[in-house]
Amino acid sequence: MDFVEARNLPGHVGIIMDGNGRWAQLRGEARVAGHREGALAVRRTVRAARRLGLRALTLYAFSEQNWARPEEEVDALMQLLREFLLSEKDEILDNGIRLNAVGNLGRLPALVRAVLDPLRSESEQNHQMTLTLALSYGGREEIVNAARELAKAVAAGRIRPEDVTAEALRAQIPSLSVGDPDLVIRTGGERRISNFLLYGLAYAELYFADVLWPDFAERDLFAAIASFQARERRFGLVGSKSGDPCAPDAGAEPTDSAPTDASASMTRIAI
């Protein structure tokens, strides 16, 4: 039996939810059936992440490039998004989850914004976990927007050109308001990151799962986290001498991994 340590949990986990369409095609069903099953996988994953004590979970729900899909599929996805937000509202609020969204949200239809915006406001003071939905999102586009904001500030004389630093750029990137991702998971068997969290991905651990997203279960999330915990994060430096593969190196950048107390650090969760 494998175990997940309650210590050394990744603080911020991002997931590229891939494989809905293929899941449906393998069963001779329309692609929308895969997306509907995928919404159930989102519910399972959010619940598992909250029980584990993850601080932040970012789900790649809809990319900027997805708008080029057939209109009927996009319409179905937007309707499913609305249904998901309505069905999960009580669970989000009752469990202290803060709902966030990043991306070109102005492109979302009114039927989605009418549910998304009020729920973001209602959950704003929740602190148990932040659930971020990447909607109409692109990592390159996010970096371009951040650079544009800094360029405007320089042109207006609010900052000097030498004030344009990595930290200044990072501060303009909404997806990193919860910290850099520690672990990024991609389902569906593909081995690429598809324009997801590009700036924050610099030192993230990557985990590729062959399971299609609608079949992604709690055990798959735990397997990804167990893999993360078995790795040594060096952040470009030399390896740790402590013998603990998850121990940070001397001088390494601190991570935003979820804090645990001394008793929790000894707990192992079976998978």
Token pair listed for 169: 């750029």
180 a catalytic residue: no
Give the active site residue among 18, 180, 182, 220. 18
Distance CA 63, CA 102 (A): 11
Q: Are 211 and 81 in contact (CB under 8 A)?
A: no
Centroid of chain to Cα 30: 27
First to last CA, the chain: 7
Residue 50, C-beta contacts closer than 8 angstroms, at least 6 positions apart: 95, 97, 128, 129
Q: Which residue has the tokens 């079976």?
A: 270
66 a catalytic residue: yes
Token pair listed for 141: 């586009």
Q: What are phi and psi of 134, to 5 degrees?
A: -85, 110
Give the active site residue among 2, 20, 66, 94. 66
Distance CA 271, CA 131 (A): 23
Distance CA 184, CA 67 (A): 23
Catalytic positions, please? Answer: 18, 66
